[in-house]
Amino acid sequence: MSEHSGMVQKRGIGHWFTHLGLIIGVLFIFFPIWLAFVASTVTQPEIVRPPMPLLPGGHFIENYSKALFSGVNAPVALMMMNSLIMALGITIGKIIISLMSAFAIVYFRFPGRTIFFWLIFLTLMLPVEVRIVPTYQVIANFGMLNSYSGLIFPLIASATATFLFRQFFLTVPDELTEAARVDGASPMQFFWHILLPMSRTNIAALFVILFIYGWNQYLWPLLITTDPSMNTIVMGIRQMFPSGDDLADWPVIMATSILAMVPPVIVVISMQKFFIRGLIDSEK
């Protein structure tokens, strides 16, 4: 082995090809986003007239403030707030519920424990889209259409997160539980003082995943919010497309799209460190 051992260090033509491939890949994925950004900084006529501009124009502030404060149906600032409330509600609700249920399933012996676990597991196979009609019925009967609770509650129960926490709790050594018992900790004290702090990287990783999941919800908000003031941004973009012969206000729509991407990016970047740690190590 030379001093530059391992695959990553290997230099030469392969190295350049790898990078070239990666750069092309990045450009390929980034190009539409770039186009959207360009389109959000020019005027409507400039977009419609071929060729499409490839460099940003001078209407950035104008277009973005128009999108944020007046929008097409509802101001984007309001839609972003709606999305934020929904995404945070789903994320926090899911984390709390799944932590508690995983704690119950792993640490307590009660009748029907396995059945409950498999019932939770079964819901993994039933995503929102599959159960959307009955769920709509339930939410409508509860009078929760056009409300935050209607947006949040049906998406909270989560098999994925419960399963993830269950797997993590199973790796926590039994001796730790026993040490806590000898120390006199009650089950809930054990949960708060020991289990929860130990799960924090997992919680952070889940927070990122679930926040994006919540933020990107499209079908469910589309179905239950008819009032524009309750629109979320992801479905709101679709609502901006005109029906009939009206002209689409492309710069504003594109500005909205770019704005819709910002919060998930912020969450990912700010929590990247925890996120990666949470996925790769279980910190024993």
Partner 1 sequence: MATLTLDNVRKSFGATDVIHGVDIDVQEGEFIVIVGPSGCGKSTLLRMVAGLEGISSGEIRINGKRVNEAEPSARDIAMVFQNYALYPHMSVFDNMAYGLKIAKTPKDEIAARVATAAKLLQLQPYLDRRPRELSGGQRQRVAMGRAIVRKPAVFLFDEPLSNLDAKLRVQMRLEIKQLQRELGVTSLYVTHDQVEAMTLADRMIVMNAGVADQIGKPLEVYENPQTEFVAGFIGSPATNFVPAGSVGVSVGTTVGIRPEHIKLSAEPSRLQARVAYCEALGAETLVHLRLDNGQLVTVRQGGHLPLPTEGTDLWMGWHDASMMVFGEDGRRINAV
What does the binding site for partner 1 look like in residue numbers (CB under 8 A)? 173, 175-176, 178-185, 189, 193-194, 197-198, 200, 283-284
Tokens (6 digits) for 260:
């819709």
Cβ at position 192, least distance to partner 1 in Å: 11
Of the two residues 107 and 121, which places its CB atom closer to partner 1 in the complex?
Answer: 107
> What angle in degrees, to the nearest 10, is found between the helix axes of 250-270 and 60-69?
80
Residue 124 DSSP SS3: helix
Of the two residues 3 and 174, which places its CB atom closer to partner 1 in the complex?
Answer: 174
Cβ at position 284, least distance to partner 1 in Å: 6
CA distance 261 to 22: 22
CA distance 48 to 42: 11
Of the two residues 88 and 198, which places its CB atom closer to partner 1 in the complex?
Answer: 198
Tell me the C-alpha to C-alpha distance, in Å, between residue 254 and each of 38, 155, 216, 261. 9, 28, 17, 11
Residue 203 DSSP SS3: helix
Cβ at position 185, least distance to partner 1 in Å: 5
Q: Could you give the count of Cα atoms lying within 13 Å of 71 in the half-sphere of its Cβ?
A: 24
Of the two residues 198 and 276, which places its CB atom closer to partner 1 in the complex?
Answer: 198
Cβ at position 268, least distance to partner 1 in Å: 25
Tokens (6 digits) for 37:
């950004």
CA distance 26 to 23: 5
Of the two residues 172 and 212, which places its CB atom closer to partner 1 in the complex?
Answer: 172
Cβ at position 114, least distance to partner 1 in Å: 19
Cβ at position 183, least distance to partner 1 in Å: 4
- Return left, alpha or beta for 259; rule: phi > 0 is left, psi -120 to 50 is alpha, else beta: alpha
Tell me the C-alpha to C-alpha distance, in Å, between residue 137 and each of 81, 156, 159, 232, 267. 26, 17, 22, 21, 33
Cβ at position 239, least distance to partner 1 in Å: 46
> What angle in degrees, to the nearest 10, is found between the helix axes of 113-122 and 76-107?
150
Of the two residues 202 and 239, which places its CB atom closer to partner 1 in the complex?
Answer: 202
Of the two residues 65 and 186, which places its CB atom closer to partner 1 in the complex?
Answer: 186
CA distance 55 to 39: 9
Cβ at position 188, least distance to partner 1 in Å: 12
Of the two residues 49 and 200, which places its CB atom closer to partner 1 in the complex?
Answer: 200
